[in-house]
Amino acid sequence: MISVTEAAPRESSLRGTLTYGDYLQIDDGRQYELIEGELILTPSPGFLHQHIAAGVGGLLRAYVDKHNMGLVLFAPFDVVLADNLVLQPDVLYLSRERFDLLTENCLKGAPDLVVEVLSPASGRRDRLEKSRLYLKHGVKEYWVVDPFAQTVEIFSAGEKGWLLAGAYGPEDTLSSPLLPGFSANGEEIFRLPEGLVL
C-alpha cells in the first residue's frame, strides 16, 4: 500500500501516468478519482449534495427495482472506464444486460446512466471534463443536478455529443429517454426535511 507520505511525491512525479493498479495501492484515507492518469482528490461532499444524491438515487432505485431492469449504485464506487481512468459518479444505473461489467470492487466499463450532483469543488469538472469522458466511453444518459440553481439537466448521448433531453426545476416532472415511464417530481428532489434550515 502507498501511504500518505508516499502518495504526494508519487502523484507529482508520475502525473498523467498512473494506472488503476497504482490507484488501488493508495491507502491514505482520502477519496480520489483517476482522470487520464492524473490523481484528483475529491473532498467529501456537503450535506445538501449528499441529501440530493440520495434522493435522486432513491427515486431511480425504486423505478429500476419495480421493473427489474438492473441496479442502482451510489458513490463511492469505482467506475473503471480505462486503465488510467477511474471515476466515482454520485449515482449510476447499470442495466441487467451489462451485469458482466460488474465485479466486487468496481464496474469495468460504462454504466448506462450517470448522475452527478454539482458541488463548488467539482462543478466545472463534472460539467466539462467528466461529461466528455462519460460520453466518449459509452454512457447513454447523463444527469447534471445543481443543488443551488435547483435544476436537473438530462442529456442523451448523440453521435457528436450530448443532446439536452430536458431541463427541470422544482415545479417540473422529470422524465428520462432511457427509462420509459420514469417520472419524478422536481420538488421532491430538492425538498429539505421539514424543520431543517441551512
Residue 145 lies in a domain: yes
Predicted confidence (pLDDT) per residue in 120-151, tens digit: 877 788 889 999 999 999 999 999 999 999 99
Taking the CA atoms of 77, 87, 157 and 153 in sequence, report the sign of the dihedral they define. Answer: positive
> Which tens digit of pLDDT belongs to each residue from 183-198?
999 999 998 888 777 6
Higher pLDDT, 115 or 1: 115
For residue 191, which amino acid is it?
R
User: Is residue 54 a part of any domain in this protein?
Assistant: yes
Is 152 part of a structural domain of the chain? yes
Domain membership flag for residue 127: yes
Phi, psi dihedrals of residue 81, rounded to the nearest 5°: -90, -25
Query: CATH number, domain at 71?
Result: 3.90.1570.10
pLDDT digits over 22-64, tens only? 999 998 888 899 999 999 988 888 899 999 999 999 999 999 9
**How far apart are alpha carbons 33 and 56 in whole angstroms?**
22
At residue 4, the pLDDT reads: 34
Residue 15: the pLDDT is 57
Is the model more confident about 121 or about 8? 121
Would you state the pLDDT for residue 89? 96
178 contacts 94 by C-beta, under 8 angstroms: no
Query: Residue 11 has what pLDDT?
Result: 37
Higher-confidence residue: 176 or 122? 176
Task: Check residue 100 and give its pLDDT.
Answer: 97
Is the pLDDT reported for residue 5 higher than 70?
no
- Please check whether residue 90 lies inside any domain of the structure: yes
pTM above 0.85, yes or no: yes
What is the tally of structural domains in the chain?
Answer: 1
What are the grid coordinates assigned to 123, written together? 462543478
User: In 76-161, which ranges are E strands?
Assistant: 78-82, 85-87, 91-95, 106-108, 113-117, 141-146, 151-157
The domain in which residue 143 lies consists of 44-190
Residue 3 confidence (pLDDT): 36
Q: Which of 128, 24, 6 is nearest to 84 (CA)?
A: 24
**Cβ(61)–Cβ(74) below 8 Å:** no
d(CA 48, CA 65): 25
3-state helix, strand, coil split of the chain in percent (to 5) is 30, 30, 40
Neighbours of 116 (CB within 10 A): 26
- 179 has pLDDT over 70: yes
Is 27 inside a domain boundary? no
142 vs 7, residue with greater confidence:
142
Q: Does residue 12 belong to any structural domain of this protein?
A: no
pLDDT tier, 14 (very low <50, low <70, confident <90, very high otherwise): very low
Pairing of strands 141-146, 113-117: parallel
